[in-house]
A and B are shown apart, each in its own frame.
Chain A
Amino acid sequence: MAKHETPLLDQLESGPWPSFVSDMKLEAESRAKNVNNVEFQIPQDVIEDLMGVLELSYKDAETHWKHGGIVGVFGYGGGVIGRYCDQPEKFPGVAHFHTMRVNQPSGHFYSTDFLRQLCDLWEFRGSGLTNMHGATGDIIFLGTTTPQLEEIFYEMTHKLNQDLGGSGSNLRTPSDCIGAARCEYACYDTQDLCTYLTQEYQDELHRPAFPYKFKFKFDGCPNCCVASIARADMSFIGTWKDDIRVDQDAVKGYVNGEFPPNGGSHSGRDWGPFDIQKEVIDLCPTQCMKYENSKLEINNKECTRCMHCINVMPRALRPGKQTGCSILVGAKAPILDGAQMGSLLLPFVEVNKENDYQEVKDVIESIWDWWMEEGKNRERLGELMKRQGFQKLLEVTGVDPIPQHVSEPRHNPYIFWKEEEVQGGWERDINEFRKHHQR
């Protein structure tokens, strides 16, 4: 017999999609039976109370969680989100129900040994419920009590060789796409750069010293599977400088119907035979390709590397060999002043493991210096860029302006000239002027 009736939640057990309600019920049952005699460090019926409070929210159509409150582990300013229930008498098991962010391994690859260690720790000292994964990329441990925070951190660092992630006004846990590990499009090693910078900037990640949150995300190619261009203060997006590699025999293979277009992604409908003119050449945004006499020609100088032709014919086309990344800056979700997309700062940066990614770190640190000096409380980088202008960003990063920085030049001529740009400067003698111009 369940501790709380949950008639509304029960309706989420039917239907084909995996039911989180069924999963929670099984976990509640498993804790109640406790066949492995785990000495639970938080209430055994925590999940029943969590379902109880969620059912109440389904009835009230309002949340029953209060604000955070300052909880954390000694010496860190992030990684733990305080959470308290606003009906603690009814649901004592979740009166304190703090979240811990656990820094995921890059690429979200796991061994089952490590996953089991995480599960054992979290069953013993927490609710046994997780998010795999949170929106930023962390493994989320959902719900424990204040006295357990240090214990979990101690066990995690001592036995699991594992650290917490970021929260608050600091570097948030960086995350990446699958990259070269299992994708032929990757233009640099996203896992390695992500891990390297995460380790390099541990202090910035754990100890909030920034005006607000700051996110790095690493996409191996312009397909942007980790959505860096929409949500990272600095997006590192793989690209290449030289020519798309073409296997003409494989192109013919696609034309002759030997290979399914777009890696077979459209097989659920009969779209008719593959038509290279209609599906590739005509859709190229720069019209830089033609297919004549059974040969594909690409005017690579005019290509903007949108990935469409490569996506459609992965066996025939590959990104070039001279690879690196573009860096875009300032993306964010709408709070406060509207959403912003990342803006291109550096078209091409070498991603070089041999020199510890020095080019990349130089850009990051020049931007941080500016933002930490000038950014207001709770002002994201993108908002500072809007407030002080793109020119200021170029100045602090030492980047020369180029047409690639804009989608089009400005619409107004209200140019703020610098005094040193104007011949003779701004200091003039009014009496000299009056010699030639009467009052």
Chain B
Amino acid sequence: MAFISSGYDPENPMQDRITDIGPRNYEEFYPPVIKNNKGKWLYHEILQPGVLVHVSETGDEVYTVRVGGARLMSVSLIREICELADKYCGGYVRWTTRNNVEFMVDSKDKVQPLIDDLQSRKFPGGSYKFPVGGTGAGITNIVHTQGWIHCHTPATDASGPVKGVMDEVFEDFQNMRLPAHVRISLACCLNMCGAVHCSDIAILGYHRKPPMVDHEYIDKMCELPLAIASCPTAAIKPKKVEIEGKTVNSVEVNNSRCMYCGNCYTMCPCLPLADKEGDGIVLMVGGKVSNRISAPKFSKVAVAFIPNEPPRWPKTSETIKKIVEAYAADANKYERLGDWAERIGWERFFEKCDLEFTHHLIDDFRDPAYYTWRQTTQFKF
């Protein structure tokens, strides 16, 4: 493994340096049918799950075949996508905002051979490489974060639970039987790199133990005032501690004030909080980002805690399946999960989904909490 230079000279970093050039221009990457019809599209139709046609005022049509994929993707698999795009799509391909891959062709006769090829490709373990689906009133790909494969603060894994849940709801990836689309998202800690807080179903990793303090090293490795200031509930204060006869500067955590957000750990590695028994999953439901019919809304906590169950997180998957089935059976056409819960009332939601209501689900975090308490005599028995 000999080092091969790119041409960069570490002694002379500014030599020939190119910076601030930004991304490549999108126009280089439009397939001709897109380039020719941009801004001219009249309407679209989903011909079957995973297959869309868009019709332009020029008379042109573009057929899109959408396939699901793991967000974690190797260069070999991307090269296989390229091979397919070269064979069927003139050398162009795109990704959606939810980690799906879209293959586009400019006439209907090119669609079926492409679908057949995509559906025939499987990994040695038996899973599909390119399952066609993810459109309309079904469940599309889960957007998610890194989890245990690459992050320092996760309270759960990301790719594992996503695989477990998508296997469980796979039929709804390839079908469109639901009242409206159901968006599932996963964030492996409260930081929510995945911004899951407005999803129909949000899977959230959550710690439940306050941080430990590594007294011996904290003053050497961290800026104590930054760690103290980082706490949103002011649960951390300075403290002098005796270590082997020496007094060192450290901090003390007021455990009852801690909401386990991990913000202190992000500022200071001497305050770790991950824990096998403490960490697990919160399920939130009923959020949306679309302005359609009702305003965008936040997801609400429906299940306060499910333990981490690697490798497949069965309890998480089963609970999600249960919620989806109750929604599918009871909601009106076009009604999103959160709109359904509001229409029938949350007391009915917990009944129909067969979920236990516990004190953890009543908001007690600052002012907004009050607005979520029932302030009317209108309720259902």
Partner of A266, one of B31, B96, B136, B192: B136
Q: Is the CB of B127 within 8 A of A198?
A: no
Residues on B with C-beta less than 8 A from A19 are 70, 123, 125, 127, 163
Q: Is A96's beta carbon under 8 Å from chain B?
A: no
The stretch that binds B, out of A148-156, A390-398, A415-423, is A148-156
Q: Is the CB of A18 within 8 A of B49?
A: no
154-173 of chain B: CB within 8 A of chain A: 154, 157, 159-160, 163-164, 166-167, 170, 173
Q: How far is the CA of A264 from the CA of B176 in the complex (A)?
A: 9
* Given A62-B276, A269-B177, CB of A83 within 8 Å of CB of B152: yes
Q: Is the CB of A20 within 8 A of B72?
A: yes
* Given A16-B170, A41-B3, A265-B135, CB of A306 within 8 Å of CB of B292: yes
Residues on B with C-beta less than 8 A from A191 are 26
Which chain B residue has the least Cβ–Cβ distance from A328? Answer: B296
Q: Is the CB of B123 within 8 A of A333?
A: no
Q: Is the CB of B311 within 8 A of A9?
A: yes
Q: Is the CB of B78 within 8 A of A339?
A: no
* Given A20-B159, A180-B39, A230-B195, CB of A111 within 8 Å of CB of B293: no
Given A137-B97, A265-B176; 10 other pairs, CB 8 A cutoff: A14-B125, A16-B131, A17-B68, A22-B127, A50-B149, A57-B310, A63-B274, A111-B92, A195-B22, A267-B176
Q: Is the CB of B24 within 8 A of A12?
A: no
1-18 of chain B: CB within 8 A of chain A: 1-8, 10, 13-14, 16-18
Q: Is the CB of A24 within 8 A of B176?
A: no
Q: Is A351's beta carbon under 8 Å from chain B?
A: no
247-306 of chain B: CB within 8 A of chain A: 261, 263, 269, 274-276, 279, 287, 289-294, 296, 298
Q: Is the CB of A116 within 8 A of B291?
A: no
24-58 of chain A: CB within 8 A of chain B: 24-27, 30, 39-41, 43-44, 50, 54, 57-58
Partner of B334, one of A107, A130, A195, A283: A283
Closest chain A CB from B107 CB (angstroms): 16
Residues on B with C-beta less than 8 A from A77 are none
The stretch that binds B, out of A217-225, A291-299, A359-367, is A217-225
Residues on A with C-beta less than 8 A from B104 are 182
Residues on A with C-beta less than 8 A from B311 are 8-9, 11-12, 58
Partner of B73, one of A99, A132, A268: A132
Q: Is the interface of B mostly helix, strand, loop or mixed?
A: loop
Q: Is the CB of B143 within 8 A of A265?
A: no
Contact with B along A373-384 (1 / 0, CB 8 A): 000011000000
Partner of A264, one of B62, B136, B150, B164: B136
Q: How far is the CA of A305 from the CA of B293 in the complex (A)?
A: 9
Which chain A residue has the least Cβ–Cβ distance from B31? Answer: A109
Q: How far is the CA of A163 from the CA of B368 in the complex (A)?
A: 42
The stretch that binds A, out of B40-48, B319-327, B348-356, is B40-48
Closest chain A CB from B79 CB (angstroms): 6
Interface size class of B (residues with CB under 8 A): 35 or more
Residues on A with C-beta less than 8 A from B62 are 182
5 A-B residue pairs with Cβ-Cβ distance under 8 Å, sorted by A, are A50-B149, A131-B73, A307-B290, A308-B292, A315-B42
Q: Is A168's beta carbon under 8 Å from chain B?
A: no
Q: How far is the CA of A202 from the CA of B135 in the complex (A)?
A: 35
Residues on B with C-beta less than 8 A from A180 are 38-39, 41
Q: Is the CB of B93 within 8 A of A157?
A: no
Q: Is B190's beta carbon under 8 Å from chain A?
A: yes
Q: Is the CB of A157 within 8 A of B21?
A: yes
Closest chain B CB from A26 CB (angstroms): 6
Q: How far is the CA of A172 from the CA of B91 in the complex (A)?
A: 29
Q: Is A108's beta carbon under 8 Å from chain B?
A: yes
Residues on B with C-beta less than 8 A from A17 are 68, 70, 127-128, 131, 163, 166-167, 170, 173
Q: Is A23's beta carbon under 8 Å from chain B?
A: yes
- Per CB-CB distance, the 4 closest pairs between chain A and chain B, nearest first, are A13-B125, A265-B136, A15-B167, A22-B123
Most chain A CB atoms below 10 A, which of B42, B82, B191, B290: B290
Q: How far is the CA of A300 from the CA of B71 in the complex (A)?
A: 42
* Given A57-B148, A336-B232, CB of A341 within 8 Å of CB of B298: yes
Residues on A with C-beta less than 8 A from B96 are 108, 178
Q: Is the CB of B292 within 8 A of A107?
A: no
218-260 of chain B: CB within 8 A of chain A: 229-230, 232
Q: Is A369's beta carbon under 8 Å from chain B?
A: no
Q: How far is the CA of A276 from the CA of B336 in the complex (A)?
A: 19
* Given A21-B125, A335-B192, CB of A266 within 8 Å of CB of B333: yes
Q: Is B74's beta carbon under 8 Å from chain A?
A: yes
Q: How far is the CA of A130 from the CA of B149 in the complex (A)?
A: 12
Residues on B with C-beta less than 8 A from A110 are 29, 92-95
Partner of B23, one of A57, A104, A226, A267: A104
